[in-house]
Amino acid sequence: MPSEEELIAQRLEKRERLLATGDPYPARTARTHTAAAAIAELEASEAVGLERTERIVTVTGRIAAQRVMGKAAFLDVRDGSGRVQLHLRADTVGSDAFQRIDLLDLGDFIEATGPLFRTRTGEPTVAVATYAVLVKAVRPPPEKWHGLQDVEARYRQRHLDLMSNERSREIARTSAAVVASVRRFFHERDFMEVETPVLQSEAGGAAARPFVTHHNALGRDLFLRISLELHLKRLLIGGFDRVFEIGRVFRNEGVSTRHNPEFTLLESYEAYADYHDVARMVEALLRHVAAEVAGSLQVPHGEHVIDLEAPFARTTYRQALIDHAGIDLREHRDLDSLRAVARARHVAFEATASWATLLDALMSTLVEPHLVQPTFIFDYPTELSPLAKRKADDPEVVERFELFVLGRELANAYSELNDPVEQRERMQAQAAKAAGGDEEAEVADEDFLEALEYGMPPAGGLGIGIERLMMLVTGEHSIREVILFPAMRDRTDS
RNA sequence: GGGCCCGUAGCUCAGCGGUAGAGCAGCGGACUUUUAAUCCGUCGGUCCUGGGUUCGAAUCCCUGCGGGCCUACCA
């Protein structure tokens, strides 16, 4: 009789029957071993030749599979460490307890105690002497063999995805390991980890539209941060020489395979370092993470193998455009000339695009897709980088680099602009663009500008989209696979 | 935002103008070392929504909702 309602009704009925003889939701368990620890225990005890009765364990977990055959049954039980098999026999657990296995369903959690042994096929197994229900689940889990395949359901109900798909668990573990590894890298280098405000009166530090929210008590609108930059720099001003933050930022933009409205940004700032120091650090960081998390500096991704071992390619913005597109920006100093180039190459651009914006469009379409192996691009046009320090010998270019892997930007860094007068001018230029209707132009943050006037040490700053790094390491192509709960439209149950 | 594709049982999927199907899960039965257990029986549907075409629509057409992939911006 199983429509969904009926399946739930059956389980609720079983819950009632369990309640009659005990508590199907006890607060405590008597677990002695995780599934993995139990198996390790069996192996260890076999090695020293212990008797079966000397290796009694209590394991707990969710019932993942059930094979009942008359007066014996096998249950596969899974906990966070892995899976272990249980064997129940009517003559061992008693006929009443054996009959009560009809009250068990896939998805329930149980606790079982008994000696470890191997079946004749060698499977490590607990010969259950006693067992108890820990949780009666009242909804059925996804199909045991194929798991949950429906992509939408996997994102909306991640708990079901994780419960039924090993690959999804693996991605989640790897992603967590990436963050832990990044954190370890910076701690080892004496960077201080900090947390800065998510709610801000101005959302600065990047070119993006912010989310707006409202503070009732203060009676004013606040913005969710779009970057970590401006507050971290204030910490440099305050006297901390090495700081970093790993935090969620929010950008009010479209969602896609590569974009989620909230994502995790890593930013670090190091006083007395310049962008070349930061580039060396980024190289070391990627190797550190790949070695720790992927176990190799050759990272497979689709048809490519990313080589993190060889020195990363280094070129300049201008040279990359020459090499990959045959365009020398010095030969196209004026907007009209550059527009002609873009048209000739069939690169789309907005009518309002400035010279630098148009240049960036050319970069994105003609150059970046070719940068599969790690490649640093140094020295960006000043107009695109309002927070970066100009190169001493060429004021049209700033000391900024981006690192590309798999044709996508992975890191962005610069020698930080610390001249308060110039910073004010550059921010005002951005503010003028904003006033001109550019919703993604940077805002002038007066508090930041004032702070900068107290003096910020020369410093190298870095930003890395953590999900991009997770995608690189896991080999996934969609950001939604590495974000546990990606943004989805409301479902209006139609 | 544009293009292509998808939405059928709790889950995985067939069916693509003529009475809505299978496997898993469930329920009943057999089975005391199985492991996608096996075997027999059985229950289960707003075929995403709303319109249209047709004697007849899960199937063809249109609209809407949700999703995926590619593409455009950002990280």
Q: A100: which 2 tokens?
A: 């009560």
Q: Which residues pair with A83 in a beta bridge?
A: A78
pLDDT band at A492; cut points 50, 70, 90: low
Where do the DSSP E strands lie in A24-94?
Answer: 56-69, 72-79, 82-89
- Strand B within 7 A of A344 CB: no
What average pLDDT does chain A have? 92
| A341 pLDDT tier (thresholds 50, 70, 90) | confident
Which nucleotide in the DNA or RNA is closest to residue A140, CA to C1'?
B10
Please tell me what DSSP assigns to residue A465.
E
- Would you say A294 and A475 are in contact if contact means Cβ atoms under 8 Å apart? no
Strand B within 7 A of A71 CB = yes
Q: Quickly tell me which residue has 């010969």 as its tokens.
A: A127
The count of residues in chain A is: 494
* Mean pLDDT for the stretch of residues A344-365: 82
Asked if A268 and A261 count as a contact pair (C-beta separation under 8 A), the reply is no
Looking at the C1' of nucleotide B28, which residue has the nearest alpha carbon? A1
Residue A104: which of A75, A130, A79 has the closest Cα? A75
User: Cα(A486)–Cα(A12) distance, rounded to whole angstroms?
Assistant: 32
Sorted by sequence, the CB contacts under 8 Å of residue A424 that are 6+ apart come out as A444, A449
Nucleotide nearest A263, CA–C1', reads B75
Span CA (A150) to C1' (B8), Å:
14
- Name the CA radius of gyration of chain A, rounded: 29
Q: How far apart are the C-alpha atoms of A293 and A270, rounded to whole Å?
A: 25
ipTM: 0.92
Residues 6+ apart with CB under 8 A from A443: A202, A203, A204, A427, A430, A431, A434
Angle at which helices A166-188 and A275-289 cross, to 10°: 140
Tokens read off for A103: 């009250």
- Judged against a pLDDT cut of 80, whether residue A441 lies above it is answered with no
With 60 as the cut, is the pLDDT of residue A34 above it? yes
A150: Cβ under 7 Å from strand B?
yes
> What pLDDT digit, counting tens, does each position of A380-422 carry?
999 889 999 999 999 999 999 999 999 889 999 999 999 999 9
pLDDT at A494 (0 to 100): 36
Q: DSSP 3-state helix, strand, coil percentages of chain A (rounded to 5)?
A: 40, 25, 35
| A143 CA, B45 C1': Å apart | 18
Which nucleotides in chain B have some atom under 7 angstroms from a protein Cβ?
1, 7, 9-13, 23-28, 30-38, 43-46, 48-49, 64-75
Whether any strand B atom is under 7 angstroms from the Cβ of A480: the reply reads yes
Asked if strand B comes closer than 7 Å to A13 Cβ, the answer is no
Predicted local confidence at residue A426, as pLDDT:
92
Q: What is the pLDDT of residues A254-266, one digit of tens each?
A: 788 888 999 999 9
pLDDT per residue over A109-168, tens digit each? 999 999 999 999 999 999 999 999 999 999 999 999 899 999 999 999 999 999 999 999
The answer to whether strand B lies under 7 Å from the CB of residue A253 is yes
CA atoms within 13 A on the CB side of A428: 7
